[in-house]
Structure 1
Amino acid sequence: MKLLNQFKGADFVTLAAKTKDIIKYFNFEFNKNLGQNFLTDGVALNKIMDTAGIDDETFVIEIGAGIGTLTQEMAKRAFKVCAVEIDKELVKILKETLLNFNNVEIVHMDALNFNFNEAVKEYGDKKIMVVANLPYYITTPILTKILTSWKGVNSITVMVQKEAAQRIMADPSTHEYGPLSITANYYANVKKAFNVSRSCFIPQPRVDSQVIKMSIRKKPAAEVYDEKLFFTLIKTSFNMRRKTLLNVLKTFGLSIDEL
Structure 2
Amino acid sequence: MKDIATPNRTKEILETYGFSFKKSLGQNFLIDVNILKNIVYHAGLTKRTGVIEVGPGIGALTEQIAREAGQVVSFEIDGRLLPVLEDTLSPYPNVKIIHQDILEADLNAVMEQYFTDVDEVVVVANLPYYVTTPIILKFLMSKVPIERLVIMMQKEVADRITASPGTKAYGSLSIAIQYYMDAEVAMIVPKTVFMPQPNVESAVIRLSRKTEAPVEVIDEDFLFEVSRGSFVQRRKTILNNLQTSLPNGKEKKDTILEAFEKTGIDPGRRGETLTIEEFGRLANALYPDFHRPQK
TM-score by length of 2: 0.80
Give the Å deviation of 1:85.
0.8
Q: Please tell me the residue identity of whatever aligns with 2:164.
A: D
Q: Which one of 18, 37, 40 corresponds to residue 46 of structure 1?
A: 37
Q: What are the superposed Cα offsets for residues 131-176 of structure 1, whole Å, 9 maximum, x if unpaired?
A: 1112321111111111221420000000111111111111212221
Give unpaired runs (5+ residues) of structure 2. 260-295
Aligned residues: 250
Q: Please tell me the residue identity of whatever aligns with 1:158.
A: I
Match of 1:6 in 2: none
Q: Please tell me the residue identity of whatever aligns with 2:81.
A: L
Give the Å deviation of 1:242.
4.4
1:72 aligns with 2:72: no
Q: Which one of 21, 34, 47 corresponds to residue 12 of structure 2?
A: 21
Give the Å deviation of 1:247.
3.7
Match of 1:194 in 2: 187
Alignment RMSD (CA, Å) = 1.6
Q: Which whole-Å CA distance do the structure 2 matches of 1:46 and 1:163 have between them?
A: 23
Give runs of aligned pairs for residues 149-228 of structure 1, distance below 5 A: 149-228=142-221
Give unpaired runs (5+ residues) of structure 1. 1-8
Match of 2:247 in 1: 252
Q: What are the superposed Cα offsets for residues 33-61 of structure 1, whole Å, 9 maximum, x if unpaired?
A: 11111101111011011101111001100
The higher-RCO structure (CA 8 Å, 6+ apart) is: 1
The question of whether the paired residues in 2 share the 8 Å contact of 1:116 and 1:150 is answered with no
Match of 1:145 in 2: 138
Q: Which whole-Å CA distance do the structure 1 matches of 2:187 and 2:103 have between them?
A: 26
Match of 2:87 in 1: 96
Give the Å deviation of 1:243.
4.1
Give the Å deviation of 1:90.
1.3
The question of whether the paired residues in 2 share the 8 Å contact of 1:167 and 1:180 is answered with yes
Q: Which whole-Å CA distance do the structure 2 matches of 1:34 and 1:166 have between them?
A: 23
Q: Please tell me the residue identity of whatever aligns with 2:129.
A: Y
Q: Which whole-Å CA distance do the structure 1 matches of 2:80 and 2:7 have between them?
A: 20
Match of 1:85 in 2: 76
Q: Report SS of the residue matched to 1:49.
A: helix
- What is the identity percentage for the equivalent residue pairs of Structure 1 and Structure 2? 40
Give the Å deviation of 1:249.
3.4
Which deviates the most, 240-249 or 130-139? 240-249
The question of whether the paired residues in 2 share the 8 Å contact of 1:14 and 1:40 is answered with yes
Match of 1:3 in 2: none
